[in-house]
Chain A
Amino acid sequence: GAGVSQSPRYKVAKRGQDVALRCDPISGHVSLFWYQQALGQGPEFLTYFQNEAQLDKSGLPSDRFFAERPEGSVSTLKIQRTQQEDSAVYLCASNLLRITGTDTQYFGPGTRLTVL
């Protein structure tokens, strides 16, 4: 497709369940970012991939959060033993280059996670 796609668009989980969120970046894009957007807030950085290498995971809130991009294209964000505070929209973004000067980050539509 032409843009970044994410699936599922909506996910409802019971507290304690594990979830997996998928991101398909724009084809050929080297850099991939995950952001978490709580209700009424701006997105906050979670983690960054350059191809298959996870170069920064400093934004992951706890060790229950895990992300991977094994072949340097599709990425999965996994949350184990979900808690209510994990409820948020999870946004994926990609850009073409690994070093950004004027490069644009393109965002997907997000996955809205609700933990009951």
Chain B
Amino acid sequence: GQQLNQSPQSMFIQEGEDVSMNCTSSSIFNTWLWYKQDPGEGPVLLIALYKAGELTSNGRLTAQFGITRKDSFLNISASIPSDVGIYFCAGRGGAGGTSYGKLTFGQGTILTVHP
């Protein structure tokens, strides 16, 4: 099935460093979402973006909805050990989606934070 192109696949950083990951698609989406998944749990929504060009922050997280509606990035500033996990981008709606909100996910970015 279709998956979005998410990079990098994994990151190993020191506590306190900033992190950046991005996601691209060949199709336009109306909404871009970023999720975090911990081991043995389902994805939890971090940030939702609804308009092209939108820049949204949630604490130390900042995400942007690309102007072409085919890409998005997520930044995490001043990383801490509890940021460890797998981060997924997801697109919803638009030519790449459906009216009822089926999500198309990226392959994930595995984040490891060394104290």
Interface residues of A (CB under 8 A from B): 4, 9, 31, 33, 35, 40-45, 48, 50, 55-56, 59, 91, 93, 95, 98-105, 107-110
| List of B residues within 8 angstroms of A105 by Cβ | 45, 101, 103
In the complex, A99 Cα to B102 Cα: how many Å? 11
Query: Is B42 touching A95 in the complex (CB atoms < 8 A)?
Result: no
| Given A41-B3, A44-B1, A44-B3, also A107-B44 (CB < 8 A) | yes
The count of A-to-B residue pairs whose CB atoms sit within 8 angstroms is: 73
In the complex, A31 Cα to B48 Cα: how many Å? 19
Query: Is A102 touching B48 in the complex (CB atoms < 8 A)?
Result: yes
In the complex, A40 Cα to B9 Cα: how many Å? 10
Select one of A40, A56, A102 contacting B50, CB under 8 A. Answer: A102
B61 CB to nearest chain A CB (Å): 16
Query: Is A110 touching B42 in the complex (CB atoms < 8 A)?
Result: yes
Identify the stretch in B13-21, B52-60, B62-70, B105-113 within 8 Å (CB) of chain A at 4 or more residues: B105-113
B98 CB to nearest chain A CB (Å): 7
Interface code B80-108, partner A: CB below 8 Å = 1, 0 otherwise?
Answer: 00000000101011000011111111111
Within 8 A of A (CB), among B1-54: 1, 3-4, 6, 40-45, 48, 50
Residue count of chain B within 8 Å CB distance of chain A:
27
Known: A42-B88, A101-B50, A107-B42. 9 other contacts (CB 8 A): A42-B4, A42-B6, A42-B108, A50-B100, A93-B42, A104-B48, A105-B45, A109-B40, A109-B42
| List of B residues within 8 angstroms of A33 by Cβ | 102-103
In the complex, A112 Cα to B9 Cα: how many Å? 22
Residue of B nearest to A91 (CB): B42
Select one of B41, B90, B103, B107 contacting A41, CB under 8 A. Answer: B107
3 smallest beta-carbon distances between A and B, as pairs: A107-B42, A42-B105, A100-B101
In the complex, A15 Cα to B45 Cα: how many Å? 35
